Amino acid sequence: MDKIIVHGGATLNGSVRISGSKNSALPILAAALLTKEECIISRVPDLSDIHYMLTILSELGCEVERASGTVTVKAEKVVTNAPYDIVRKMRASVCILGPLLGREKEATVSLPGGCIIGDRPIDLHLRGFEALGAAVLVQAGNVKVLAPRLRGATINLQGKFGSTVLGTGNVMMAAVLADGTTVIDGAAEEPEVEDLANFLIKMGAKIEGAGTRRIIVEGVKELHGAEHAVIPDRIEAGTFLVAAAIIGKEVTVNRVDPRHLKALLDPLARAGFEIATTSNSVTLKTGGVRHPLKLETQPYPGFPTDMQAQLCALLATTEGISAITENVFPQRYMHVAELKRMGAHIELEGATAVITGVPKLSGAPVMASDLRASAALLLAGLRAEGTTEINRVYHIDRGYESIDDKLNSLGAQIERVKA
């Protein structure tokens, strides 16, 4: 098992190219199950989660080829049962339910695993399938959905902590081959949902409103093959911008959509960083006085929960008292104990982390608990005095393509070693 060693104190400077979005690529790859024809998907990041999805597609009977970030999938014949041993490593594997139900009118998928960041149920997915006319059975760790015929319906996917991104995509993928019109209220507005919809439209689906709270899907008889390029990963871009804020001079992230980053760029500007954008890049400059922040995570277009841990790392060395309230996954604070091992002063008050900035952090052995927590520890290690040793880095490999190499290209001193 690998571990990452970070030698702190090196200033970041330069530019970095952002990979395709993991959270777009996974459901788009699953959507290829909706047609017997070939689908070509480019800008697919090289991540362990992507490897798991390609393995799942292969096990379901798809012909899968990958070369230089482009994946070709042909699902001429598929099976509808995905057992535990092929879905257990990734929660997003549940997104195969929708396309299998839409195409084959049945699917059986074991309940998946994934990040340990609190309760992440799929009840909203199942509620949507039931509204379309499917029978749902949860038994012995498996979810089975069955519908001799899917019919359009009005569905509300608003959950306790906001809309479900994966659930919106899953129900949308089932609805594209249903009879009649489906209206999804309380839909997730994330760019990744809109990206999936754009791919489905290229396949022949009729979808309106993706990227808004109401999505309207008019069912069609069948879909065809298509080509599509995945959008840039806004969370990877945000992570590099926060790295620049922590210990950078001037860093540019290229191949991004600044509109997707507004909820992060605004607080970074309030914190005292100079932000400049073009149509496909963002540059962050440091040098002024940093200010503390008060933030609350919200579903898109609000401040993203997937950037909460990284902001904790930034604010840990920002003079003054900052506060971040986690409204999406209230238990998503497993990184706090590890940051405190490095000298951060963070206290949890319910779902709020109160952060008192300290002049410096100290390198220490730390343990990654989930994807974004591991990124936060890596960023904190860049600023810390001495050496930080991050264990369980398989978490970071789930969502960041060659993050150590990319940071080193900006001037960081990071090495990956066998534990």
Contacts of 298 (CB under 8 A, 6+ apart): 162, 327, 328
How far from chain centre, in Å, is Cα 286?
Answer: 27
Element (H, E) at 248: strand 248-254
Q: Which residues pair with 64 in a beta bridge?
A: 73
Instruction: Find out whether 413 and 381 touch, Cβ atoms under 8 Å.
Output: no
CA angle 175, 180, 185 (to 5 degrees): 55
Interatomic CA distance for residues 113 and 77, integer angstroms: 27
Instruction: Find out whether 211 and 184 touch, Cβ atoms under 8 Å.
Output: no
Contacts of 139 (CB under 8 A, 6+ apart): none
39 an active-site residue? no
Interatomic CA distance for residues 250 and 281, integer angstroms: 13
* Residue of 1, 95, 4, 108 lying closest to 52 (CA atoms): 95
Burial 21-59 (b: 16+ CB within 10 A, else e): bbbbbbbbbbbbbbbebbbbbebbbebbbbebbbbbbee
- Which member of 39, 62, 95, 115 is catalytic? 115
Sheet holding 248-254, edge to edge: 12-17, 248-254, 281-285, 274-277
Cα-flanking dihedrals φ and ψ of residue 19, to 5°?
-80, 175
Interatomic CA distance for residues 310 and 380, integer angstroms: 8
Interatomic CA distance for residues 349 and 326, integer angstroms: 11
Instruction: Find out whether 241 and 264 touch, Cβ atoms under 8 Å.
Output: yes
Instruction: Find out whether 318 and 271 touch, Cβ atoms under 8 Å.
Output: yes
Interatomic CA distance for residues 34 and 365, integer angstroms: 46
Q: Which residues pair with 208 in a beta bridge?
A: 216
User: Which amino acids are annotated catalytic?
Assistant: 115
